[in-house]
Structure 1
Amino acid sequence: MKLKAKKVLMSSVFSVKTKFITFIFFVLIYGNFYTLQSNPSYITPSKKYHIVKRDETLYTISKKYNIPLKKIKSYNNLQNDKIFAGQKIYFTPRIPPKREFVTKRKIPLEKYHTVKKGETMYRISKMYDLEIIDLMEYNNLETFNIKEGQKILLTSENKKVSSDKPPKTVTHKKVTKNKKGKTHTVKKGETLYAIAEMYGMKIAELKSLNNLKNNSLKAGQKLNLTPGAKIASSPAKSSGTNKKSSNKKKKIKSSDIKNPYSKSDLCLPVKGKILSEFGLRNNRQHKGIDIGAEMGEPIKAVLPGKVVFAGKQRGYGNVIVLEHDNYVMTVYAHNESNLVRLGDMTEKGQPIATIGKTGNASAPHVHFEYRLKGKAINPREVLPL
């Protein structure tokens, strides 16, 4: 009888103990789950940044996510505690751009570089000690996605660049003998400079013979090599009306490209006084406008886009280049700080940088460029000024 009572007692104690352990287990599991859900310092892979809301401060964000203020400032390249509504605040260190160890080269005779597998615009600019913005200009770049085999012009006909003198063995005599009354059909990747070199001609001469307004060429296009050459495009016998209509078509083809956006589609990069206009300045084309503002003021993306370059350039200082839909690219230069990272998707009106005077700037401002299909357009024509 005593043994049986002892067994019942032991069973009862064991049952209570099991229930207690089970209770503690569930408390711990639920507690950990709640902690994971509510502890702001737990950052999931899909939330590596915080978008600043109105009236938020760097201090409150630091407390909310339990990350030291000093680290947040370092991660986001911030010069002070000032932040702006819509700005992205990153919680992870910036991955520095891959250091491009390249051997500096002189501009080759053909004045272009053939892209090799894995090369980027940044690498090519380092290779020849050129500014990325200048390379965009020389090549009328529509995108930063360059391809293997693509030819990148390293200079323009108006800019003198150091290069090796042509070797004595180089000659164009054999080719020039065959150019009289002839035409040349442009092959994929060929440039105006390369064709001019091929036939021992000057670029200006080729452009004049073919009524070209710029250096852009298309595969399959026929070029006159002499004044006597004729390109078969229509029957020789045609009425005066047909001639006029063909001339009209040529004018339309070479006319200014229509902007796909209206002024209301864009916002201003910053509100301020225009310090320098688009056009000729100091005997050099100024491809954008300079807008003055207070040091540290936010510079905003004028359209939704993607960051294709965020870094330093010698004359331009801190630079950001955004690529947008419809072959539009925008440039923001002389920034105090770049607030976005390479590859970021940006929204219209998002702060992407702060006003500075880096590079060769003498006063705080942003140098802004608007490029459509590689051509710089006067920002006054597209911004809601």
Structure 2
Amino acid sequence: MKTITTTEDLATFCKAAADHDYVTVDTEFLRERTYYSQLCLIQLAMPGEDDDTAVLVDPLSGTLDLAPLYELFRDTSVVKVFHAARQDLEIFFVDAGVIPEPLFDTQVAAMVCGFGEQVGYETLVKRIAKEQLDKSSRFTDWSRRPLTDAQKKYALADVTHLRRIYEYLADKLKKQKREAWVAEELKILTSPDTYVVQPEEAWQRVRTRTNSPRFLGIVQQLAAFRETYAQSNNIPRNRVYKDDALVELASTKPQSMKDLSRSRLLLREARKGDIADGILAAVKTGMEMPQEDLPRPDNTNQKLQVDPALADLLRVLLKAKADSADVAPRLIAATSDLDALSAGKRDIQALSGWRMDVFGRDALRLCEGKVGLAARKGRVEIVEL
């Protein structure tokens, strides 16, 4: 098992990889104590049947520059293969503003190929590579050095088996003529907006029971301060203050340090210094925001006049269509999409792209009363009306 610790060796590997059609990629990282993921290890493999064409790259060696890897990521003649790429891509985007292109995510491809929702890597290794993974090193501390042989073996398996999985799924997608389906699904993963967190939008992730605009304005300011502070100090947002404390602060509206001291849920470290000052400033800003600038919850779906009977029929149609296409139903449409469709909404994902062909067109005909559903010989069929 070769471990790369120098820029020169990384450049040599990446130059060799550039001569192949694809390279498999994975990472090991820690995020429990930081806002941004701490990259601890990168695994890479070129096409092949053994470990000789796979390497471990140690970004913690102190002298390693990842520039050769990022050059490979920009090489559009080589497909970069990941499994469940979201967090890996975020690391590379935050570090260098790079998103590998072209990208292939085997988790997305597996859903399109009928392996179910959010299928795990271990499942694909068993079903496609016919191998078993050693999971003993899954929860180890990847920042500690030296790495054990067990850690190295575990990490390398994440890219060596991935080669067979990729080749199998790519071939199946080609035969099914579904490459465009995967490309459509990957647009979110390859968009830079996916990895940019705007502090002023952080409030939308906080669950509250009160929808008062003034209350939400204070929540917005408290969430924005927390996000900015966490980013600038590279600490988890919950280390600043947790959601329940944020909601408590928005309710009690502290005006002074003395008020903060009465909080039941605020961490001790947040009752003094920069965090305490930031809390008081955020509350003040939220209380003084002009009425027209206050945030308001999106109650669009709550106001929908859902037709329960039609929604149930759409669920039956979705199940039948998903079974026929051999894809996970949720990949085509969520339950909320079906409710929205039954209520008359048409600006939903299920009515665009490949979903329109597989499900959307017949769903619209069902909503318009042009077709019905019938059960025949254990199958649901569409009946023209």
TM over 0.5, yes or no? no
Larger Rg belongs to: 1
How would you bin the TM-score normalised by the shorter chain? under 0.3
TM-score normalised over the length of structure 2: 0.22
Higher helix share: 2
TM-score normalised over the length of structure 1: 0.22
